[in-house]
Amino acid sequence: MAALRRYLPHVVLAAGAFVMLLPFYWMFLTSIRSPAEIFSVSLWPIPEKFAALDNYSRAASQVPMLRFMMNGVIVCFGILIVQVLTAVPAAYALAKLRFPGRKLLLTLVIAALTVPIQALALPLFVGLAKAQLLNTYFAMMMPFLLSVFAIFLFNQSFRSYPDEIIEAARMDGFSELEICFRLVLRGSLPSLAAFSVFSLVAHWNDLYWPMIVVTDTNLAPPPLGMLFFADVESGANYGALMAGATIITAPMVVCFLLARKHFIAGITMTGVK
Amino acid sequence: MARRGLFFVAPAVLLMLAIYIIPMLVLAVFSVTDYQLGAMSTSFVGLDNFRKAFSDPVFLRALWNTVLYAVIVIPAGVILALGVALLVYNRKRSRGFWEIAYFLPVTATLVAMATVFQFLLHPSLGPVNAAIKWFGFEPVGFLSNPSLLIPTMAIIGIWQVLGFNMVLFLAGLTAIPKDLHEAVRLDGAKNPIDRFLTVTLPMLGPTMMFVIVTTSISAFKVFETVAVLTKGRSGSEVLLFALYLEGFEYSNTGYAAALTLIFLAIVLVLSIGQTVHMDRKVHY
């Protein structure tokens, strides 16, 4: 009975973890197996014949897999940089400066937090179509250039920065921009790290918006590229398909394993959103 | 001082206008017209789009399916996550490992993982059906039987959201003072289940509320799995996919705008629960 009580939680957790991890295991296993073995349906971890090279090179040659990754990196970092550059000064002003319309802006920020991108997609799409901007990196980034969530988060975090230091820095001739980015933001580095993770993961994995504004394969970010690839392969070659899925999933999974604490902090912040 | 403040918020304000305020107004205008992207003429149709939505069998099916999906994902995603969190919380040395195992699906690209699920659940090539057959049952057409499409996608939805909710519950559990458990134990609640019902569950009230709200909002936004697994074919129509088809594939902009407003209304009602909660915290 005592032994049961001691080991039961582990057994239950292990059974659950098996279900959670099975897709990853199956994905990776299939990606290194030869097509013949795929039909035998076995969970045995060591393939009879390693076909990793075949599968991965097929994934990379059928569709521009590396190009997708590049697009993802460009779009995600483009978004993140503009988000930080626009949200940090705004949050600093909201937290530490007095100006007309401050209350109104804060209300708008909080109201905008509840509006999902899917609600704005239609008018933004029409606007971008009219401006002939569909199928550009700009179109992919445009709705996300302002993160009201970042303003909200940094506003909370900047408020606790001591006013005396800001006053002293002003006396010393620091410009307001220097105070904002070099002093106050530096005091909120954990928030910045968590927000960066949140933003990068959200946009790396986003499908809805790229699916709307991108039809050109060469501009597709990873999730859209995966969708194109699944259509091209249409279930014929699972080895290559799973190799593609592995390539696309790997960056976030590896980052997660390396920086677990930041990742969990960043992703669970979506809950606050 | 005031000038400086305005200068600092100017970029954010301009983007706010361009991304939120003007598009919202435009959306409202679209919703009362029969505008189609690229059409020559457009006319005012009043509330016809909304009336049409509630008599459109495709939209009603999408609404129903989304509700069905949410009704499966919300309780399962919350209760299972709570169970896992309670078990993981008491592990000392292995806690990190379990956290990784359960949280991994949250970080993974859902589009890629949906493709993996398609293969896992394959009637003849997938290990899941191989196991079902090994136990002597008939193989299950997870993705071919129309009435199983939504439950299958709900399983994937639960798989994806579980780790996220687990982490929120773990944070909630950490916030419960340790001596409270001790106090109740001395008061005679010897049974762990009693202690769970008298201390843990009530203390988790705010977290619970929060988890339920975020899970329901994300359930109403189900899209990727449909886009990958079924392309919205009969039996798997959901709200966002219906919206996507009307607005971006068929270019029925006016009608899609009305559907968007209905979708937004649902999300707002769910978020209000969240805001009210954040303002005054659920009391114990």
B2 in a domain, yes or no?
no
* CATH code for the domain of B250: 1.10.3720.10
CA distance B224 to B210: 24
B4 in a domain, yes or no?
no
Residue A45: burial class (beta carbons within 10 Å; 0-12, 13-18, 19+): exposed
Domain chopping of chain A, boundaries: 2-60, 64-272
CA distance A74 to A87: 20
B6 in a domain, yes or no?
no
Under the banding of pLDDT at 50, 70 and 90, the label for residue B255 is: very high
Which one of B3, B102, B115, B269 makes the best mutation probe of the A interface by having the most chain A beta carbons within 10 Å? Answer: B115
Residue A2: CB atoms within 10 Å: 6
For helices B22-31 and B253-280, angle between their N-to-C axes, nearest 10 degrees: 130
Contact criterion met (CB < 8 Å) for B228 and A230: yes
Contact criterion met (CB < 8 Å) for A271 and B210: yes
Under the banding of pLDDT at 50, 70 and 90, the label for residue B53 is: very high
The full DSSP string for A157-169 is HHHTS-HHHHHHH
Q: Which of residues 250-269 of A touch B (CB under 8 A)?
A: 252-253, 255-257, 260, 263-264, 267-268
B21 in a domain, yes or no?
no
CATH 2.40.30.10 holds for A64-272: no
Residue B150: CB atoms within 10 Å: 25
pTM of the model: 0.91
**Minimal CA separation from A242 to chain B, in Å:** 7
Which pLDDT score is estimated for A269? 65
A175 Ramachandran zone, left/alpha/beta (phi>0; psi -120 to 50): beta
Which pLDDT score is estimated for A271? 53
Mean pLDDT estimate for chain A: 88
Strand partners, B44: B33
Selected residue with higher pLDDT from A144 and A265: A144
Instruction: For residue A38, give the chain B residue with the closest CA.
Output: B125
CA distance B272 to B199: 27
Contact criterion met (CB < 8 Å) for B90 and A9: yes
Across B208-214, average pLDDT: 89
Contact criterion met (CB < 8 Å) for B5 and A97: yes
Q: Give the domain extent around B167.
A: 30-280
**Minimal CA separation from A87 to chain B, in Å:** 7
Which pLDDT score is estimated for B190? 72
**Minimal CA separation from A2 to chain B, in Å:** 15
Across B26-48, average pLDDT: 88
B13 in a domain, yes or no?
no
As for how many domains chain B has, the answer is 1
Structure confidence by residue, pLDDT tens digits, B160-193: 999 999 999 998 888 888 788 778 777 777 777 8
